[in-house]
Amino acid sequence: MEDHQRKACPLPPPALSPTVPPPTIADVARHCGVSVASVSNALSGTGRVSEKTRERVLEAARKLGYSASPAARALRMQRSWSMGLVIPDIANPMFGQIARGAAEVLEEAGYHLLVASHDARHERQAGQIRNLVQQRADGVILQPFSSLDEEVPMLARAGIPLVLLARRHIEQPSDYVTIDLRGPLLEGLAHLAALGHQRIALTLLGGRPSTTADERFAIYCGFMRDRFDTVDETLIIRMAHTDLESGRAAVPALLAARATAVIAANDILALGIRDGLRASALSVPQDLSLLALEDTFLSPLPGIELTSPSLPKQQIGMAAARLILARIAEPSRAFETIVLPSPLVVRGSTAPPRVGPT
């Protein structure tokens, strides 16, 4: 393939700027003496060409290293073959895995993925979506900031297929992928109750309208009333963010409510709570059982070991991708919702309460 002779070559080697442009479809046609139409037909497999010329064309294309110019294709076909994925935080491994799942099925279908992170900032989300519209993305998968973001209807108005993640929009119907909210929460509550906990606290992400928090609240109340005949509102801890610091800040409220267990929205928050407890010389699970509703790869790690449902992150991405492909294929189909299971995994952060039930 190459001359292995050439050793160290400290400066720009001869051929860097003066490169030959990629071959065009005309080159291929000329190379095997047929028309461009035949080449196109042969390559796309969608036309009527004789087996003989098809082979000739394929051979020539391979030999020349031809591949169609995406720009020309996009211009002619009026589709960019690119799909947008807008997520809250690209540095969060959870979204990385979602992206991976989505990319896998999209690439299979000939699309490539434009990943954009809005970093929990409204104006960035708007910017990313606007950019995707300008890029003429053929579809967008979005985990929106809140359930009434204005950018969502904007996408619909632009005629761009949309799949929502984790939160549906208040008024814009769309395809939608979520995890089962009820199952894991009830499982977690039952797990804690079975261990003997009665004062089970729940953190709720507020501060931004979200259908998820409301739903969880309702489920929690239902369970508590069912089991203990009462709901103590002091056990509900509302918070705006979901970082370490918010977790630490929640500890005083937890202690004041005499909670013996807490269900945190996700594992980062849970780690924050644990850290806050340590500052009060309390520890998990001896003094407080800790359960996170969304795991990342952190949860099973030594030194962490959080009881939490295992989120099917890759599946979420794949499901979303499949939904968007389905809608592109059939724009008028009914909107679909996919609910993925998220079974509880018990680890070291939950244990019976120090003092038995009163």
Partner DNA sequence: TTGTAGGCGTTATCAT
Partner DNA sequence: ATGATAACGCCTACAA
Find the binding residues for a copy of itself in span 139-178 (CB under 8 A): 153, 156-161, 171, 173
Using N-to-C axis directions, what is the helix angle for 211-228 and 182-195, rounded to 10°?
30
Identity of residue 91:
A
Burial of 279 (0-12, 13-18, 19+ CB in 10 A): exposed
Identity of residue 127:
G
Per CB under 7 A, does 43 bind DNA? yes
Q: Residue 64 or 193: which CB sits closer to a copy of itself?
A: 64
Distances (CA, A) of 305 to 129, 245, 286, 289, 308: 37, 20, 14, 12, 9
Per CB under 7 A, does 53 bind DNA? yes
Per CB under 7 A, does 91 bind DNA? no
- Distance (Å, rounded) from C-alpha 315 to C-alpha 336? 16
- Candidates 26, 35, 63, 67: give the one binding a copy of itself (CB under 8 A): 67
Only one of the segments 46-54, 111-119, 189-197, 315-323 lies at the binding site for DNA (rule: CB under 7 A); that segment is 46-54
Q: Which does 26 bind (CB under 5 to 8 A by kind): DNA, a copy of itself, none?
A: DNA
- Report residue 328 as tokens: 């592109």
Only one of the segments 71-79, 179-187, 204-212, 223-231 lies at the binding site for a copy of itself (rule: CB under 8 A); that segment is 71-79
Only one of the segments 43-51, 190-198, 212-220, 336-344 lies at the binding site for a copy of itself (rule: CB under 8 A); that segment is 43-51
Per CB under 7 A, does 49 bind DNA? yes
Per CB under 7 A, does 73 bind DNA? yes
218: three-class secondary structure by DSSP = helix
- Distance (Å, rounded) from C-alpha 350 to C-alpha 263? 10
Per CB under 7 A, does 164 bind DNA? no
- Distance (Å, rounded) from C-alpha 137 to C-alpha 61? 28
- Candidates 72, 190, 218, 345: give the one binding a copy of itself (CB under 8 A): 72
Q: Which does 346 bind (CB under 5 to 8 A by kind): a copy of itself, DNA, none?
A: none
Per CB under 7 A, does 78 bind DNA? yes
On whether the CB atoms of residues 138 and 84 are closer than 8 A, the answer is no
- Candidates 29, 86, 115, 264: give the one binding a copy of itself (CB under 8 A): 115
Read off φ and ψ for residue 114, nearest 5 degrees: -100, 110
Per CB under 7 A, does 44 bind DNA? yes
- Report residue 97 as tokens: 């895995």
Q: Which does 340 bind (CB under 5 to 8 A by kind): a copy of itself, DNA, none?
A: none
On whether the CB atoms of residues 232 and 157 are closer than 8 A, the answer is no
Buried b (16+ CB within 10 A) or exposed e, 247-264: bbbbbebbeebebbbbbb
Per CB under 8 A, does 12 bind a copy of itself? yes
Q: Residue 113 or 205: which CB sits closer to a copy of itself?
A: 113
Identity of residue 269:
L
Per CB under 7 A, does 160 bind DNA? no
Nearest approach, Cβ of 132 to DNA (angstroms)? 16
Per CB under 7 A, does 17 bind DNA? no
Per CB under 7 A, does 69 bind DNA? yes
On whether the CB atoms of residues 201 and 291 are closer than 8 A, the answer is no
Structure letter (DSSP) for residue 233: G
Q: Which does 135 bind (CB under 5 to 8 A by kind): a copy of itself, DNA, none?
A: a copy of itself
Positions that interact with DNA (CB under 7 A): 6, 9, 13, 21, 24-26, 33-38, 40-41, 43-44, 46-50, 52-53, 66-69, 72-73, 75-78
